[in-house]
Structure 1
Amino acid sequence: MKPNRKWLMPLLAATMLVQPGSALSARGQAKAQHASVGSVTIEGPVTGGTRGFPYSASIVDLAPYGYTESEYFVSGKAHAYTVAPGTTLGADGRWQVVAGEDMPYKTRILVRKPPAAKFNGTVVVEYMQEYYGTERDTNYRWNAETLLRNGFGWVGVSMHHEGIDDQKPPQMITYAGSQIPVGTTLARWDPQRYGSLSVPSTDMSYDILTQIAASLKSKMIAGGPDPFSGLKPKAVIGVGNTIAGERMAIYINAIQPRQRVFDGFFLQDLHRGARLKLSGVDTPAPVVRTDVGVPVIVLNTTTASAERGPRPEGKMLRFWAPAGSSHTTGPYMDRVGKANTRDLGLNAGGCPVDYANTLPVQYVSGAAIIAVDRWIKSGKAAPSFPQLASFEGPKEPVLEPAGYFDANGNVKGGLRTPWVDVPVARYDWRGECIGGSGRTFPFSKDRLKALYGTPDVYHKRFAEAVKAAEKRGVLLPPDMQAAIEAANKVTW
């Protein structure tokens, strides 16, 4: 398969605070704030429609994990936030905002519910990613196996007016040789199922997110069913990727200090794909305030790190930057392609899985989610790792400038994994593959012989590096074993 040489924006590819572990963490935080959080009405489970299934249903089979998936409609009144008079959205992220007038809304949530015996007490709430007028579960697609193995509840919230009920006429664009619908929206995708949904402005999303998270954790439901009936959530983690991650960064900076509903956050790839606004005011390049009072991990791949460089950490803020990683990977884009084929009847022609970057970012992001959850529940802080320097070189995957790459062609520094420390390939974040999925350049047999001599030596060294990475908190035990098994298949 010849890779497409066009690539644009990644496709289908965001006061005093109570410290976790204190007497007023988790449920106590929410109770202290619920007087100012609007309640919601829930309808469902939602069934029917012309398609007969929800948009962005789990692309991973839930049955082996004992999970169920249901969709619900959530309605209430919410407001946008505006910048407080006399203040600005400064580069330190310490923003002050005021609430506007309430307006009615109705959106949908997808709920993936574990069996009661498996539930670990934490619900992950994803700010769904909107691209080209559709909403999708980007963070879940990266981390499904980690979430399902470890008993997390998961909720995806459709937040964007542009992806729910935007009335602008849809259009088609040519992307990677395929015709891509722009402006599909939920209401157009299945008008029978989603025609009643309405979010007048994406600026309302931050208040809507607060209301939904509070309702899930503390059962603040004005009417209708409880999506987690029979379970007692004790913590809620907010997650989002790229644009949704940047919106979650806005939430952390401006809304979390006011409401304190979330117990932690995990964001991925905060690099500016599109300039965001807060009620008409431009926000700075994505930033997270360093005085955040709940655990936060931001995973910036080399794609984002090369653009923005190291970011300041705080007592409860970590930036993880895996060397050699790319915005997406070949295996991830393969998963996206299957979902697009099912939901939109198209596959945008991504690069072959092994041609694109294959460094398994999902192992590191899964470890990050577990680290945030552990931090919330035990107070054990997540580890801090070196970050990556910004890189202003060419957009093609070439080895320059000198000093940025190691002797094997992989990026120096950052969060190290066995794939760059005991490599069999060079991993680059640049190239022509759609979705920003980078490139993999496998080493020749002669290069492998020069590095390791025999495959047995490579297998041993890789296994040692994997075990060390697990001890550092970079890999989880099930992924550690999978990595070793995959490496043992490498020969020459």
Structure 2
Amino acid sequence: MKTSSLFSLIAAAGLVLLTACTSPPETRRAPMLDVPAARLAPISVPGTRTFGASPEDLAVAGYVEQEYSVSGVANRYAFHDLMQDAAVIDGGHAYKTRIIVRRPANAARFNGTVIVEWFNVTLGQDIDFNWATSRGHLMREGYAYVGVSAQRVGVERLKTWSAARYGDLAVVAPETTPKDPLQAGDALRWDVSDVLSWDIFSQTVKALREPGAVDALPGMKPRRIIATGESQAGRRLTQYYNAIDPLHRLVDGMVFYDAGYNTWHLLRGDNPTRLIAVGSEVHSDGRKPVADGATTRRWEVAGTSHLSLWDMQVVDAMTTRDQGLKRRDGTPAATVQDLIPGCQHYPLWSAVPMHKVLNAAFDHVKRWVDGGPPPPAGKALERGADGAMLRHDENGRTFGGIQLAEYAQPTAFNLGYRNPGPVFCRNGGHHRFYSAAELKAIYPDPEAYVRRVVETTNANLAAGYILAVDAAETIKAAQDLFTQR
């Protein structure tokens, strides 16, 4: 099939999605809590640089990166019920942290949407996994991006990394004790720890919407703000969605990347904030599928690990440069894989391109909050008889869910979650690209292979799980596979 014909099919499928009927958004309840805007100030300390700065040259894409301090006075909250509004305990707790802003250098390119990421701190430092995943799409489409250091672990690592630049940051306040202890065995203890994180995130969003003396988005007026987070950050945003967001409605939508909510991470059904949770095999296995709500969707992607090879190309470049990762014995580690010894299969990370699904999720939520059509329904991976454990064949391949062409017609052996070894091996998955000889044996008819890729890709495009530009990339790669060998 000629390239021009393929792009015609892609364009036609995309037109169907864009011209679907729209419906007005639901009426939002009036805010119950007035949130002050945080104070912003540029961070500029001679002889130092931004921790976690992009390792890629953003100027090539017409973007700039800037770092700001964020300060204010926060409340502490009590969480007495997973599905109800949080209650203010007290206020007056001063904090100072930082944000990283990546925005179009030319304000005219701004598409009106700000993605605000809650930095993940599971590895002892701030990591912007969602930026790493969807960076190309966000810059191509003119999104602005803000990463927030909301938690103590990340802030404390900043201070030890550069006392000159970050020594005056502080986000500490006494932990709270819930009236009814919730998930007492959970080490994250979202309900009692990082008590200032909720208002840090909210007040940062307010400062983007209503800038004071310092505007982090000069010449750009945000029309919609989408909160996002990966893994632990997504789980904290789950509770933000359930208990904090209903108090003030500062964000318009949310996109989670492998937040892994199950029976204790359910989403309340009366929150009009639009949300798509994109999940890998790692956080789907052992959990029963969660049904869609009026304003929520959950997509599960076959063959995907907790992080993908695409994500880690940028994350590894950043962590290798900054040398902020630490092993259990305190010695430095260059990459995340260095922290995960003892797995049966290396290298880690599935090569199935999760970013293509996450890209679509961001665009769907953007349109959805504007009153556009609801996103595609949730698509779950197949479970076994217990309704929770994923079904898989003898090679570890799973069934159902969103099946990208890169998994359905693979050019690599990919494991999403079945990498034996210590616990984090399961998160890491595995990939091994097939040799030229293997590819010829698997696909003796290259034209038939390309046809299957086109069929799978156009089906996912028509369903709304990927975007036209990513579909075109998949098909082009399939066309080039045998001609380049």
Structure 1 and Structure 2 fold alike (TM over 0.5): yes
CA distance in structure 2 between the aligned counterparts of 1:348 and 1:111, rounded to whole angstroms:
24
Structure 1 residue aligned with 2:284 = 305
CA distance in structure 2 between the aligned counterparts of 1:420 and 1:257, rounded to whole angstroms:
39
Structure 2 residue aligned with 1:361 = 354
Q: 2:208 aligns with which of 216, 219, 222?
A: 216
Structure 1 residue aligned with 2:315 = 336
Structure 2 residue aligned with 1:40 = 38
CA distance in structure 1 between the aligned counterparts of 2:109 and 2:463, rounded to whole angstroms:
26
Pairing 1:159–2:150 present: yes
Does the residue aligned with 1:488 lie in a helix, a strand or coil?
helix
**1:151-200 deviation line (CA, Å, top 9, x unaligned):** 111101101112213xxxxxxxxxxxxxxxxxxx1111111111111111
Does the residue aligned with 1:339 lie in a helix, a strand or coil?
helix
Q: 1:199 aligns with which of 154, 157, 171?
A: 171
CA distance in structure 1 between the aligned counterparts of 2:135 and 2:110, rounded to whole angstroms:
15
Contact kept, 8 Å, 1:206 with 1:251, in 2: the verdict is yes
Contact kept, 8 Å, 2:114 with 2:146, in 1: the verdict is yes
Q: 2:100 aligns with which of 98, 104, 110?
A: 110
Aligned pairs for 1:360-379 (under 5 A) are: 360-379=353-372
Structure 2 residue aligned with 1:411 = 398
**1:286-334 deviation line (CA, Å, top 9, x unaligned):** 3322332121000110110013230122011000101111111233223
Contact kept, 8 Å, 1:129 with 1:137, in 2: the verdict is yes
Aligned pairs for 1:426-437 (under 5 A) are: 426-429=413-416, 430-431=418-419, 436-437=427-428
Structure 2 residue aligned with 1:475 = 466
Q: 1:435 to 1:196 in 2, by over 3 A?
A: farther
Contact kept, 8 Å, 1:237 with 1:266, in 2: the verdict is yes
Does the residue aligned with 1:98 lie in a helix, a strand or coil?
strand
Offset, 1:470 = 1.5
Unaligned runs of 5+ in 2: 1-21, 174-193, 325-332, 339-344
Offset, 1:434 = 5.6
Offset, 1:66 = 0.9
Q: 1:20 to 1:457 in 2, by over 3 A?
A: closer
Q: 1:235 to 1:304 in 2, by over 3 A?
A: same
Residue identity opposite 1:66 in structure 2: G
Q: 1:110 to 1:21 in 2, by over 3 A?
A: farther
Aligned pairs for 1:252-291 (under 5 A) are: 252-271=241-260, 285-291=264-270
Contact kept, 8 Å, 1:113 with 1:154, in 2: the verdict is yes
Q: 1:335 to 1:57 in 2, by over 3 A?
A: same
Contact kept, 8 Å, 2:224 with 2:251, in 1: the verdict is yes
Structure 2 residue aligned with 1:457 = 448
CA distance in structure 1 between the aligned counterparts of 2:284 and 2:311, rounded to whole angstroms:
20
Q: 1:360 to 1:96 in 2, by over 3 A?
A: same
Pairing 1:78–2:57 present: no
Pairing 1:249–2:238 present: yes
Residue identity opposite 1:481 in structure 2: A
Q: 1:445 to 1:47 in 2, by over 3 A?
A: closer
Offset, 1:134 = 1.4
CA distance in structure 2 between the aligned counterparts of 1:76 and 1:20, rounded to whole angstroms:
38
Unaligned runs of 5+ in 1: 1-18, 166-184, 273-282, 394-400
Structure 2 residue aligned with 1:239 = 228
Residue identity opposite 1:106 in structure 2: K
CA distance in structure 2 between the aligned counterparts of 1:22 and 1:424, rounded to whole angstroms:
42
Aligned pairs for 1:76-155 (under 5 A) are: 76-83=72-79, 87-89=80-82, 93-114=83-104, 115-155=106-146
TM-score (norm 2): 0.79
CA distance in structure 2 between the aligned counterparts of 1:296 and 1:43, rounded to whole angstroms:
31
Q: 1:438 to 1:108 in 2, by over 3 A?
A: same
Contact kept, 8 Å, 1:105 with 1:197, in 2: the verdict is yes
Contact kept, 8 Å, 2:299 with 2:402, in 1: the verdict is yes
Offset, 1:450 = 7.3
**1:242-279 deviation line (CA, Å, top 9, x unaligned):** 0111110010000111111110000111238xxxxxxx
Does the residue aligned with 1:79 lie in a helix, a strand or coil?
strand
CA distance in structure 1 between the aligned counterparts of 2:144 and 2:75, rounded to whole angstroms:
27
Q: 1:420 to 1:348 in 2, by over 3 A?
A: closer
Q: 1:445 to 1:41 in 2, by over 3 A?
A: closer
Residue identity opposite 1:133 in structure 2: G
TM-score (norm 1): 0.78
CA distance in structure 2 between the aligned counterparts of 1:349 and 1:188, rounded to whole angstroms:
20
Q: 1:420 aligns with which of 407, 418, 432?
A: 407
Q: Percent identity?
A: 31
Offset, 1:390 = 5.0
Offset, 1:385 = 3.3
Residue identity opposite 1:196 in structure 2: D
Residue identity opposite 2:276 in structure 1: I
